[in-house]
Amino acid sequence: MGLRFKIEFKMEELKEYNDLLKKSMNLYRDSLKNPNNQRLLKEYIINPLNEQEPPIKKAYQQNHPQYNLAKTNEDILFKKLLKELLFHSIEEDNYPKTGRKGYSTKEKLFAMCIKIYYRSDLRKCESILKELKNLGYIHRVPCFKSIDNFFNDGRLSKILDDLILISSLPVALMESTGAIDGTGFSVNNFARWVDHKWGKEQNKERVWRKAHAVCGCKSNMFISVVVTDKRVADVSTVEEAIGNKTKYFKMDTFVADKAYSCRRVLKFLHNLGLMPVIPFKKGTRGHSGGVRIWHQMFQFHKYYNKEFMEKYHARSNIECCFSMVKNRFGGNLLTKKFTANENEIKIKFLCHNLCCLIVELFESDIFIDFEECVKTVALCKD
């Protein structure tokens, strides 16, 4: 019985082989007459089992001559762009007629940005500012203790939000896809979990702050940054981080990871005129629940997964942006209080924007006019 089964199995296998041989011979004969069949025959010979070829890794071209020019002149252009940005964005302070005249908002922000850009300590920053005073960038050099106090000024947080947005507007026409995500910045101290009964130290946990940022996937420049405590969920800051800032850009797609996968976020992005490309969590159902865009994107994710993932791939840019900020300006914070942490993080992102703007100035030949950018923001706010 076993031998008979083996013989029958071999005969069926031989019959399939003969059928494939006849088909290949017929294709070969027809290929002499029809060029289209010749193309099919070549594809069959190369890949007879119709196996999927491994994906080709996409290579991104870099204009190295222009990139080299941008980086070799970055130090000079950074200070010029920073001075121009502060000049057009911040109004003059109204000092009291009597008493000691303090440092203006422009002087504070300029000194803070120089400290972050050069990653220097407070005393070294003072010596750098003395040299910049000789070059005409500033009129007064603050003491190193005053520079430390500047970071604790809570009024600067809202001003930095506007500066980050204004610094990204020169590339507004380039951006078609936006992305949002969160990352952490560690603080150089520990929070202690104390046993309330005995007053004995049980465990230590490092304190860190969370930055929820929105960036453009083409220029790698940040549009807005929201700083929170470490335990704040990403999805709870979407409305505050995005707001109405996407109207300044020609964006039609917005990408985020599964942490933002909920009907509220998709509805919010859809109301802004954006296509929300956010993958769905395991076990998610596709019924709309009163939000039509949820059902539409679920169908798109399910039946056109390849096209969906091609659009979602742009989210990797914001991870790249976070890496650029931390590698260049540090992933840890040197300040202690939350207000100072918030200002320090936002200045890191502002300095990153100015560095990216210098690269785009050479590679994309853009025109930078901060005065027009300030007017655009003021008109939209009104």
In a domain, 301, yes or no: yes
Asked whether residue 218 is assigned to any structural domain, the reply reads yes
Number of neighbouring beta carbons within 10 Å of residue 164? 23
Q: Is residue 240 part of a domain?
A: yes
pTM, two decimals, is 0.81
Q: What is the predicted pLDDT for the residue at 381?
A: 73
pLDDT for the residue numbered 194:
46
Could you list the residue range(s) of the whole structural domain that residue 247 is in?
172-335
Q: Does residue 27 form part of some domain?
A: no
The reported pLDDT for the residue numbered 41 is: 47
Residue 123 maps to a domain: no
pLDDT at 196: 44
pLDDT at 4: 45
Tally of domains within the chain: 1
Residue ranges of the chain with per-residue pLDDT less than 70: 1-18, 20-21, 24-25, 27-60, 94-99, 189-205, 382
pLDDT at 62 (0 to 100):
79
* Per-residue pLDDT reduced to its tens digit, 201-227: 556 667 889 999 999 999 999 999 999
Pinpoint the alpha helices (H) of the chain.
2-31, 35-46, 64-72, 74-89, 105-118, 122-134, 144-150, 156-168, 238-242, 263-271, 292-303, 305-312, 316-329, 338-363, 370-381
Quick check: helix, strand or coil at residue 227? strand
In a domain, 32, yes or no: no
- Is the residue at 351 inside a domain? no
> For residue 282, what is the domain's CATH number?
3.30.420
At 293, which amino acid appears? I
Determine the pLDDT at residue 288. Answer: 84
pLDDT value of position 189: 64
**So what's the pLDDT on residue 201?**
53
pLDDT given at position 352: 97
Tell me the DSSP string of 265-309.
HHHHHHHTT-EEE-PPPTT-----TT-HHHHHHHHHHHHSHHHHH
Asked whether residue 47 is domain-assigned, the answer is no
d(CA 81, CA 351): 10
